[in-house]
């Protein structure tokens, strides 16, 4: 039996107890609705009211708290913990802290009171709309800002590997939350699927202004002028042929065949 750590919520009610008199972590249906009460919400409530900052808990304790329906599903619980980490909870495991056992976690900081609707909505992840995604890709010139590859282009030395564009974060959302910084369109950038693959939380922060400026100062006058022109254009200077290729590359397959036939005729190249 857990020892409940008493706490008062914003309305002055006894924090651990839901309106129907049940501890929040034992609820399976959201009060006043027929909707399921998510396990992330139950897990957050259990940790908030049953663990103090600095306490260590185990996977078995989590299973016991959330019931027999998830017995043995460690990865399932790890996903739930990752959700809490994305809303301000700091819960290191043995991978982060060598003093912990492989089945142990430490509650280092409590984040959003995820079992409460108002707190959960306040920490809802920023998700750009389809139009915003198109705007980001257009803003970035239709190329991955990491490797410079455009949609459908082959990666250097890999003619059979075609790039697919998506959008990703400059700074991971979870890291922004720990700093109290909001996510917005300025934090999104065009990336090919390959550059977007690494676990975002393991990627270091992007270069900062002072760090880039130190490198710029080492450039020759000519290179500084070239860099200036690229930045003003918001792209590396490319020839007219490069730009026409970008346009031709996104034609339909039939249109590309027609264009190839025209080029063969007009250039006198039958191959």
**By three-state DSSP, how is residue 31 classified?**
coil
Strand partners, 23: 17
The pLDDT score that the predictor gives to residue 205 is 59
Strand partners, 54: none
For 84-111, b/e burial (b = at least 16 CB within 10 A) is bbbbbbebebeeeeeebeeebbbbeebb
The pLDDT score that the predictor gives to residue 206 is 63
What DSSP assignment string belongs to 50-92?
H--TT-EEEHHHHHHHH-GGGTT-HHHHHHHHHHHHTTT-B--
The pLDDT score that the predictor gives to residue 239 is 77
The pLDDT score that the predictor gives to residue 127 is 64
The pLDDT score that the predictor gives to residue 208 is 74
pTM as predicted: 0.45
Please list the pLDDT of the chain residue by residue as tens digits (271 residues).
344 444 434 333 457 888 888 888 888 888 878 888 888 888 889 999 999 999 999 888 888 877 766 555 566 677 788 878 877 788 888 888 889 888 899 999 888 888 887 777 666 655 677 888 888 888 888 888 888 888 888 887 777 888 889 888 877 766 666 666 666 777 888 998 888 765 444 455 567 788 888 889 999 998 888 889 888 876 677 778 887 887 787 677 788 888 988 888 887 766 6
């Amino acid at each position: 039996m857990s020892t409940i750590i008493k706490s008062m919520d914003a309305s002055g009610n006894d924090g651990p107890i839901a309106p129907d008199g049940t501890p929040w972590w034992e609820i399976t249906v959201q009060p006043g609705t027929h909707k399921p009460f998510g396990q992330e919400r139950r897990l957050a409530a259990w940790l908030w009211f049953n663990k103090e900052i600095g306490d260590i808990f185990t996977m078995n304790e989590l299973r016991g708290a959330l019931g027999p329906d998830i017995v043995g599903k460690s990865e399932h619980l790890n996903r739930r913990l990752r959700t809490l980490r994305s809303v301000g909870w700091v819960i290191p495991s043995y991978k982060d802290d060598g003093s912990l056992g492989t089945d142990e976690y430490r509650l280092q900081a409590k984040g959003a009171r995820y079992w409460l609707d108002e707190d959960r909505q306040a920490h809802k992840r920023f998700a750009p709309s389809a139009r915003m995604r198109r705007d980001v890709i257009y803003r970035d010139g239709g190329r991955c800002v990491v490797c410079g590859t455009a949609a459908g282009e082959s990666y250097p030395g890999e003619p059979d590997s075609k790039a697919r564009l998506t959008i990703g974060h400059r700074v991971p959302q979870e890291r922004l939350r720990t700093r109290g910084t909001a996510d917005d369109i300025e934090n999104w950038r065009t990336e090919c699927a390959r550059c977007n693959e690494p676990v975002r939380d393991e990627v270091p922060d992007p270069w900062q202004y002072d760090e880039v400026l130190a490198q710029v100062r080492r450039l020759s006058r000519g290179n500084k002028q070239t860099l200036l022109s690229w930045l003003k254009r918001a792209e590396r200077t490319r020839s007219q042929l490069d730009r026409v290729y970008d346009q031709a590359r996104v034609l339909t397959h039939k249109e590309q065949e027609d264009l190839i036939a025209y080029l063969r005729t007009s250039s006198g190249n039958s191959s």
